Amino acid sequence: MAGLQADKDIIAGLAEATRDEAESFDKKKIESTTSHEHELDGIHDGLEFPTEEERLTLRRVSDSIPWSAYLIALCELAERFSYYGTTVVFTNFIQQPLPKGSRTGADVAQAGALGLGQRASTGIGTFNTFWVYVIPLFGAYIADTRWGRFKTTCVAVGIALVGHVLLIISAVPGVIEHSRGSLACFLIAIIIMGLGTGGFKANVSPLVAEQYKRTKLFIGHTKKGERVIVDPMMTTSRIYMYFYLFINVGSLIGQISMAYSEKYVGFWLAYTLPTIVFMICPFVLYFGRNMYVTSPPQGSVLSKSLRIWRQAAKGRWSWNPRQFWRNMTAEDFWESAKPSNFKGENRPRWMTFDDVWVDEVKRGFKACSVFMWFPIYWLTYNQLNNNLTSQAATMVTNGVPNDVLSNLDPFALIIFIPIVDQFVYPAIRRAGWNFSPLKRITLGFFTGSAAMVWTAVVQHYIYKRNPCGYYVATCKDAAGNPVTSDLNVWIQTGSYVLIAFSEIFASITGLEYAFTKAPKNMRSLVMSVFLFMSAISSAIGEAFVSLSTDPLLVWNYGVMAVLAFIAGCIFWFQYRELDRQEDALNDISEGHLDEKH
């Protein structure tokens, strides 16, 4: 996704509303007959609930998406426009020198500013990517413990705006000519922007899903009169599908328009226009402040969750690796940490929760373990941002800038997300196949692997059809002009389309999984863990930099394909049993936690 690289990156779970998704069924038990009786809550009043037989036989559909969710998605669109609109020109701003006679950095041949070279450009770019995915951990902590998601999002927007203003200053005529001063201002800007972006990303994804309030299955009717079950789980999944769509609309428009802004006007415009678009955010947040469903902070539960894990792990440590693994993955691992096992004075003072909350924490830990595989997935996606752009420069582009080709990914997502939502997923449900989140993530690994296979084959033929063979990137004729292969650059389309599908299956579902499996008072934190996997992937990617050059590029893409395929196989083998527990995990009620102790 062009939208989830920082978000990888973007972008993408279940309607928290004001309770856990796990309350999709009644909290106590599943009624065997149709029930109209439930605790009045102003949300489910007057609805008809399905019998157990209807749960098994009626088709399930999603509910309509509330307008407040679209408003928050609009904020995400503006933020992604500003983020990708500015970062898309970072490489030229840092690497290329200021064109002769230019005071803005604009040049039809090659825009530039600081002239620090490729190594500095790669280093600063990698730091920026890592930075914006580390900060969500802190933004999530503040939201869950101090301010709540909505206030944290608003403050993050204000911080990011300060960074955007400094970014503009680093590129205005009079400053850009002095490379040291411009660089200092630029670095301060991306650090401050990273603080704002990180705080925004950790909280806007849970916030958009909170807008849907219903948490219980209920009976509905289609326009044709068909009796169906309206499933809040599917509704939240759909919310994230269109949330991701908004992400990619913003990133697509931002990247294409700013690439031409730097080229024909200057970097100051390429930084100013995204800032103006980003200023939509505070107005939208203020306009809908009384409309949004928000959750107040509920104090820090991270330390208490770790205490629960430590309590559960007592007596299970072993020097034998095989025995240690068995002990730590045993089905009854969490049972020893439940308060019901402690009576009277034997109960530790820190156990201010009930057994159900332990089950919620257990579910959250399982979700985080699922995310541990995502850095391998993001390695395949990261090839879009650098290597595929370089590959495009070695083919016939017919005047199309090579860095514009990467926008095929968000363009494909904009096309295929509605198709998958309206046709593919409904067809799968009609066929009676349970296309669960873990199955979707597994398929995402495999389609990511297929994208790298396509890219490796293209790279093989680039080498084969270039007069310089395996050194195509530096191939020049007698006059010093670059010589490319005779392959048309649009054959890269297969790579971008396959990566787009992998994002629909893996990235969007990852956002959904993070939201639905976390305890209510840890949603931002678990979401930030999912986003942090992108930072880890960037760090791992540094180990493969030596493969990202001629004549080793076929090996580079081949290694990525093999890693993604093997990771997908191991992922499914490891979590196939967890996949069978999907409904049971979603049925866990909301536990009680007393934060006063």
> Percent of the chain beyond pLDDT 70?
89
The per-residue pLDDT for 325 is 86
For residues 313 and 443, give the distance between their C-alpha atoms in angstroms, rounded to a whole number.
33
Candidate ranges 9-13, 93-97, 185-189, 299-303; pick with highest mean pLDDT: 185-189
Are residues 228 and 235 in contact, defined by beta-carbon separation less than 8 angstroms? Answer: no
Q: Tell me what pLDDT residue 413 has.
A: 92
237 neighbors 68 (Cβ within 8 angstroms): no
Specify the residue for token string 């890269």. 492
Residue 253 has pLDDT above 80, yes or no: yes
- Contact between 94 and 53 under an 8 Å Cβ cutoff? The reply is no
One-letter amino acid for residue 596 of the chain: K
Of 207, 138, 74, 145, the residue nearest 515 (C-alpha): 207
Distance between CA atoms of 222 and 204, rounded to whole angstroms? 32
Assess whether pLDDT exceeds 60 at residue 262: yes
Distance between CA 424 and CA 179 in Å, rounded?
52
DSSP per residue, 420-473? IIIIIHHHHHHTT----HHHHHHHHHHHHHHHHHHHHHHHHHHHHTSTTTT-GG
| Whole-angstrom distance, CA of residue 569 vs CA of residue 440 | 13
**Mean pLDDT estimate for the chain:** 84
Distant-in-sequence, close-in-space partners of 315: CB < 8 Å, separation ≥ 6: 336
pLDDT at 260: 85
Residue bearing tokens 């269109």: 242
Sign of the dihedral defined by the CA atoms of residues 448, 451, 453, 459, in that order = negative
For the ranges 113-122, 138-147, 187-196, 508-517, the maximum mean pLDDT occurs at: 187-196
Q: Which residue, among 341, 348, 361, 415, has the nearest Cα to 523 in the 3D structure?
A: 361
Whether the per-residue pLDDT at 181 is higher than 90: the answer is yes
Encode pLDDT of 419-457 as tens digits: 998 899 888 888 878 888 899 999 999 999 999 999 999
List of long-range contacts for 107-115, beta carbons under 8 Å, 24+ apart: 107/263, 108/263, 108/264, 111/262, 111/263, 111/266, 111/267, 113/171, 113/176, 113/179, 113/182, 113/267, 114/179, 114/182, 114/183, 114/186, 115/179
| Confidence (pLDDT) at 299 | 66
For residues 249 and 478, the model is more confident at 249
Q: What percent of the chain has pLDDT over 90?
A: 32
For residues 266 and 582, the model is more confident at: 266
145 touches 178 (CB < 8 A): no
Give Dmax (Cα) for the chain: 89
**Contact residues for 260 (Cβ-Cβ < 8 A; gap 6+):** none
DSSP conformational letter for 148 = -
User: For residue 565, what is the DSSP state?
Assistant: H
177, with CB counted inside 10 A (0-12, 13-18, 19+), is middle
Tell me the mean pLDDT in the region 164-179.
Answer: 94
Distances (CA, A) of 516 to 206, 235, 437, 455: 10, 12, 11, 35
Element (H, E) at 195: helix 179-210
Q: H or E segment at 230? A: strand 227-230
pLDDT (0 to 100) of residue 27 = 38
Rounded Cα–Cα distance for residues 123 and 117 (Å): 10
Q: How far apart are CA 488 and CA 485, in angstroms?
A: 8
- More confident of the two residues 13 and 180: 180
Band (pLDDT 50/70/90 cuts) for residue 348 is: confident
pLDDT at 4: 40
What is the rounded average pLDDT of the residues 227-243?
88
**522 contacts 364 by C-beta, under 8 angstroms:** yes
Q: Is the pLDDT of residue 459 over 70?
A: yes
* Residue entry with tokens 């295929």: 416
Q: How far apart are CA 389 and CA 384, in angstroms?
A: 7
Sheet holding 60-61, edge to edge: 60-61, 227-230, 218-221
Lowest-confidence segment of 66-70, 264-268, 401-405 by average pLDDT: 401-405
| Residue 37 reports pLDDT greater than 60 | no
Instruction: Say how far apart CA 382 and CA 458 lie, in whole Å.
Output: 17
pTM (predicted TM-score):
0.78
The pLDDT assigned to 41 comes to 61
Q: Is residue 368 a contact partner of residue 523, using CB atoms and an 8 Å limit?
A: no
Q: Are 271 and 86 in contact (CB under 8 A)?
A: yes
Q: Which residues contact 253 (CB under 8 A, 6 or more apart)?
A: 81, 85
Q: What CA–CA distance (Å, rounded) separates 135 from 6? A: 11
> What would the mean pLDDT of 301-318 be, rounded to a whole number?
85
Asked if the model's pLDDT at residue 152 lies above 90, the reply is yes
Strand 227-230 and strand 60-61: the pairing is parallel
Highest mean pLDDT among 181-190, 348-357, 518-527, 581-590: 181-190
More confident residue, 15 or 429: 429
String of DSSP letters for 315-334: T---SSHHHHHHHHT-TTTT
**Per-residue pLDDT reduced to its tens digit, 533-548:** 988 888 888 788 778 7
pLDDT band at 266 (very low <50, low <70, confident <90, very high): very high
Model pLDDT, residue 50: 87
The helix/strand/coil state of 44 is coil
| Greater pLDDT, 526 or 180 | 180
| The two structure tokens encoding residue 315 | 């007596």
Give me the mean pLDDT over the 251-257 stretch.
Answer: 90
Q: What pLDDT does residue 458 have? A: 93
Residue 367 has pLDDT above 50, yes or no: yes
Residue of higher predicted confidence among 120 and 66: 66
pLDDT score for 35: 42
